[in-house]
Structures are given as C-alpha cells and as structure tokens.
Amino acid sequence: MTFSPELEARFEKLLRTYPPGRERGAMIPMLMYAQDEVGSVSQELIEEVARRVGVTPLQVQEVISYYSMLHPTPMGKYHVQICTNISCLLWDGDKLWEQACKKLGIGHKEVTPDGRISLEEVECIGACSWAPAIQVNYDFHHFVTPEQLDRLLDSLGKKQ
Amino acid sequence: MLYNEPSPLETRILSRRFGLPDSASIDTYLRTDGYKAFLKASGMTPEQIIEELKISNLRGRGGAGFPTGMKWSFVPRQSPKPKYIVVNADESEPGTCKDRVLMEYDPHQLIEGCLIAGLAVDAHKGWIYIRGEYRYLIEVMDKALAEAYEKGWLGKNIQGTGFDFDLYTHTGAGAYECGEESALLESLEGKRGVPRIRPPFPAVVGAFQCPTVLNNVETFCAVPPIILNGGKAFADLGVPKAGGTKLTCLTGHVNRPGVYELRLGFPVMQMIEEVGGGMRNGKKLKAFIPGGSSCPLLNAAECEGATMDYDSMAARKSMLGSGGVVVMDEDTCMVKAALRIMRFYAHESCGWCIPCREGTTWLRKILIRFHEGGGVRSDIDLMADISKNMLGRTFCPLGDAAALPTISIVEKFREEFEDHLNGKPCPFEHAGQMVMA
C-alpha cells in the first residue's frame, strides 16, 4: 500500500517514537492518520499496518473493534458528529440530532446516498461549556443553533 | 480568541497567558517567565522538587485527587529501567473541557511541567496521550514541541544543563475508558484499552512495563508555577488539604457557561450566581454535578454552603472530580438525565469486568423503559440495588462511575421516578422522548 510522502514521513517518525521492540505503540496513531488519508480502515490497511508494526493482522483487527473512531467502512466526506451527552443535552443537543436525522433522512453512522455527509450521535467531545456542540470531521462548532445547523448541512451538501 | 469571556472572580495562575497575543508561541512563553521554572528545578535535587510539590498540596486534577508529590515519590529512581512521563490528555469525562484550553492557549506550560517531572524522577522520554477527537490539538502540541526542540528546550543537553528529554504526541482513537490510567497505558502500547490489575501501580510498572509518572494535563501545568513561586504560594491559594486553583468547566443551565480558573474552596452558589451569571431564564436550581458525570449529584439544598474542594464535596458524599460542573434547572427531567448518563457508561464500558458490562446495560434498559412510561414500582429499588452491587467490584472505576450518579439520582429524586410510573407521560414538557441511536 502506498501513502502520501507526508504520511510516510509521519509513520517513520512515529515508529522511532516508541522504545525499541515496542513499535506496536505506533499502531493506533498509524491507523488514525492513515484512515484520514484513505477513508476507512480497510482489510488492506490492516495488513499494511500489521506488517509495519510487526504484529499479525488479527492483532490489529481486535484493536480496531475497540475504538469508536476507527471505521471499517468509509463515512461521508463530511462526518457530522452531534453530541447529545449531558451538558449538550441541557442545551437541546438531542433536538439538533433529531433535526439532522430528519433533514438528511439518515441515522446513526449512516451516509447520504451521494456519500457526502454521514451522521453520528457522539458521546462527550469536550466542548461542554460551549454547548450544544458538534464536530464536522475534526472541526468544532460551538453554541450551535437549529438555524446554524440547517445552514451548515445545506452548505456541506454543496461544498466541493 | 477565547471561547468564553473570563470572569473577574477568577484567580488566573495556570490560565494567566490565555488571551495574550499568540499565547501558544514559544516567544510569548519565554517573554512571560516561560521555562524559568525548569531552569530553577535543574538546580534543585529531585527530593527538593518533590518536597516543593508536597508543600503545594497539589492533588491530581484528572478526577481522583491523589497528592501529586506523593505519586512522584513512588517512582523507584534507582531502578535500572528507563522511567517515562505520560500526560493524560484523553479528556472525556462528560462536562469537562479544560485540558483543551490549557493545551490550545499555553502548550509550552505543559511541556515545561513534563520537563520538571523528568528531572524529579530521572525520566528522559514522555508521551502526551491526546484523545482522537482533539486532532487540532495534536497539531498545536506538535508545533509547540518543534519550537521547543528548535530553541533547545527539548532534546539533548537542554540549555546546557546536561539533561536530555524527548516528548511526543500520541493520538487516541475514541474510547472514554482510555482516560483511566492503566487502560491508557494499554492503549499507548497499541492494545485495546482495558484496565490492568493494580498493584503494581504505574509509578512502578507503567508505560512499556517501566516506572511511569502519569498525570492529567492540568496537574502537569500546575508544576511550573509551583516551582517558580514556591509550593507555599500555591498552597495558600486553596484550602488546608488542597492547594491552588482548579480550572472549572461551568456547563448546563447557567447564563454564562465557560471554563474559569477558581481557587479551590470557591463557594458553589457564588460560582453559579456570579461567575456563571445565574440560572438561565431565572429558573430555580434543581441538581448539580460537581466534577463530571461520574460524581454523585447534589440537590439544591446540598449546594447551600458547599464549596468547590475535595473535603466539602466528600462531606456531601460526592467528589470534586475533574472540574466538569453540570448545572440543571427545575425543568430538567431527572429520569432523562439518569438515562443519558447511563447510556454513556453502557456505551463506554470496555466489557472487561462483568458487573460493569452487564450492570450498565441492564440499568440502561430499565431507564429507557422507565422514561418511556413502561416502568414498574419495583424498578426503582432494582436500579439502586444493581448500582450498589457494581460498586467496588471492577478493575477500574468505570463501574463505580456509572453506579454512583445513578444511586444519587434515585435516592434524591425518587418522586420523579414515581411520577413516571403507570404509563404517565414525562411530567416535564421540555423533556421530550429521547432518540435512541
């Protein structure tokens, strides 16, 4: 499997970060950074990372099933994550979630037919004092109103 | 730009650089006493550094509140193994968003805290374990680390002191459980984040089976001011058994939610009324979580006279926790709140210990049924009973974290559960049906 030169450089640095013989430590960061570039944690990626950190593909498989951010299938180009945990709930985060599901006609961890937007109801994302909060890919949006969410989803549907 | 306006009632020690132009840059840091604490510490013995921390009464800011100086003193310096520093930046406790701003606005303060910890325990390598959702902070920290290497504050023979130290970022991938120290270490090693049995504690057998100092971001960030100004100055800011300030994340039904740095011992009602600008829409206070959803809730009466410190909260059978304050007004449905909290723990239970795995799932099912109007009277005692049977029966505190708030809600707001009985709809107009993803 080939990656961009930037990602290869990052991998090389990562593998030197952990104590000798403990390169397995790089596994989860490698999967996260690679997923950002190739879109999902595919079987091919699992085998590639296993080879690079010196474990079996099964050992990678058992790790990825534990972590909620590692996706075996691709999410949308814009992965919209809406927090409904307690602090966001108190500022109607649950209503934002319902609104997004209704507008897009998809549910939890589902992708629109054109592959542009996916939705996920997430647990606390660490934006509690600026609730309700959502994340689009890695970008935070704070104090989100229903009108802002509506405009955001419209713009993501058209954005190149 | 700051996410919220500061309050004049704050005591800004750890957050004193927040809002300065380019506050995250090494130039700003060096202009404002940055890395002076490291230079001072490099002229001290490890025992003196640890003694200063003990004098400061600094207690772990991740939630457990263990005395930091004592924790560092447990590291066997004479061990032939390498020693490591690990920063817990897996901030995931619901209600908590303070480590985010500490890293975003002042990353070098965290780096300096790690350097001083390295001096204290003879460690020369460390990792900052940052939750996966905080990707932009990996970029902020990586940039700060690169600046520190470039200007000779990391790497070999730092500023001619003869001390070597390397520090790296490490991303998590979405798992609350990895904020628990032993699960974090498993995750750092490239494994599922399941907890380890203790003893041995991480100070003796930690990262990669070596002695490790593992603390929360805020704990490390408190170290440079303690070394620079002396432990006593820090201790004097707080209360007798807990020194300093706490970054407090005020969330929920207040007019000015935000992250504020307050002295330990700050009165709860003054925090709500004056720092937070009072209850939203002039409503009455109903329930209060002092430090993240793992803490037992207080009712409004218990908040009177309470202060934000370990002992005051312990006297009310709760905990200071992580600083994630959740304020709930009179319109909040406590059954819905209990359900949302339990859904979280059921989702995040790693499944390693049966009382937690099965208990959280069972409680979630009962609460869903109850909230939808299908509860029966015996469910109320059953929920308390299941919760009590989870307490203390798991490798890590997640089981307790799920059980404790549930017990407190069932005991303190029992009448709301009774109102939901016999198919009666939720009595709170505001609290509609919850979508179950």
**Is the CB of B97 less than 8 angstroms away from the CB of A127?**
yes
* CA B335/CA B54 separation, integer angstroms: 42
Q: What is the residue extent of each domain of chain A?
A: 5-64, 78-158
Architecture of domain A78-158: 3-Layer(aba) Sandwich (3.40)
Decide: B387 and B378 in contact? Cβ < 8 Å.
no
Facing residue for B189 by CB, picked from A24, A127, A138: A24
* CA B62/CA B134 separation, integer angstroms: 17
Kindly indicate whether the domain formed by A5-64 is annotated with CATH number 1.10.8.60. Answer: no
Chain B positions touching A24 (Cβ under 8 A) are 189-191
pLDDT confidence of residue A158:
86
pLDDT confidence of residue B405:
96
Q: In the numeric block, which tokens belong to residue A44?
A: 């091919």
Q: What is the dihedral of CA A93, A96, A101, A102, to 10 degrees?
A: 140
Across the range B274-280, mean pLDDT stands at 97
Element (H, E) at B337: helix B334-348
pLDDT confidence of residue B82:
98
**Is the CB of A101 less than 8 angstroms away from the CB of B3?**
no
User: With 70 as the cut, is the pLDDT of residue B423 above it?
Assistant: no
Closest CA to B337 of B226, B420, B218, B237: B420
User: With 80 as the cut, is the pLDDT of residue B93 above it?
Assistant: yes
Q: What is the pLDDT of residues B7-17, one digit of tens each?
A: 999 999 999 99
Contacts of B203 by beta carbon, 8 Å cutoff, 6+ apart: B71, B72, B74, B75, B76, B211, B212, B213
In whole angstroms, how large is the CA radius of gyration of chain A?
18
* CA B264/CA B58 separation, integer angstroms: 11
- Does B420 or B248 have the greater pLDDT score? B248
Facing residue for B171 by CB, picked from A32, A121, A123: A32
> By the CB < 8 Å criterion, does B127 face chain A?
yes
Sorting pLDDT into bands at 50, 70 and 90, what band is B40? very high
* CA B260/CA B2 separation, integer angstroms: 11
* CA B204/CA B214 separation, integer angstroms: 11
pLDDT confidence of residue A160:
66
The domains located in chain B, with CATH, are 26-237 (3.40.50.11540), 245-329 (3.10.20.600), 334-420 (1.20.1440.230)
pLDDT confidence of residue B435:
43
pLDDT confidence of residue B436:
43
User: With 50 as the cut, is the pLDDT of residue A17 above it?
Assistant: yes
Nearest Cα of chain B lies from the Cα of A92 at a distance, in angstroms, of 9
Decide: B132 and B187 in contact? Cβ < 8 Å.
no
pLDDT confidence of residue B425:
62
Closest CA to B185 of B174, B167, B168, B201: B201
Q: What is the pLDDT of residues B381-390, one digit of tens each?
A: 999 999 999 9
* CA B339/CA B189 separation, integer angstroms: 34
Sorting pLDDT into bands at 50, 70 and 90, what band is B421? confident
Vertex B138 angle, CA B136 and B142, to 5°: 125
Facing residue for B251 by CB, picked from A25, A107, A131: A131
Q: What is the pLDDT of residues A28-69, one digit of tens each?
A: 999 999 999 999 999 999 999 999 999 999 999 999 999 999
The Cβ of residue B47 has, within 10 Å, a number of other Cβ atoms equal to 11
**B280 secondary structure, DSSP code:** G
Facing residue for A129 by CB, picked from B131, B250, B344: B250
The Cβ of residue B108 has, within 10 Å, a number of other Cβ atoms equal to 26
* CA B384/CA B386 separation, integer angstroms: 6
Chain A positions touching B257 (Cβ under 8 A) are 128-131
pLDDT confidence of residue B427:
62
Tell how strand B285-289 and strand B324-329 pair up.
antiparallel
Q: How many residues does chain B have?
A: 437
Closest CA to B199 of B217, B215, B181: B181
Average pLDDT, chain B: 95
Chain B positions touching A51 (Cβ under 8 A) are none
* CA B215/CA B70 separation, integer angstroms: 12
Share of chain B above pLDDT 90, in %: 93
Residue at token pair 């309700």: A132
Q: Which of B191, B339, B368 to mutate to test the interface with A (most CBs of A within 10 A)?
A: B191
Q: In the numeric block, which tokens belong to residue B23?
A: 């506050």
User: With 90 as the cut, is the pLDDT of residue B159 above it?
Assistant: yes
Instruction: Count contacts between A and B (CB, < 8 Å).
Output: 161
Closest CA to B276 of B350, B208, B327, B220: B327
Contacts of B82 by beta carbon, 8 Å cutoff, 6+ apart: A19, B123, B124, B125, B210
* CA B310/CA B295 separation, integer angstroms: 12
Residue at token pair 């104590």: A19
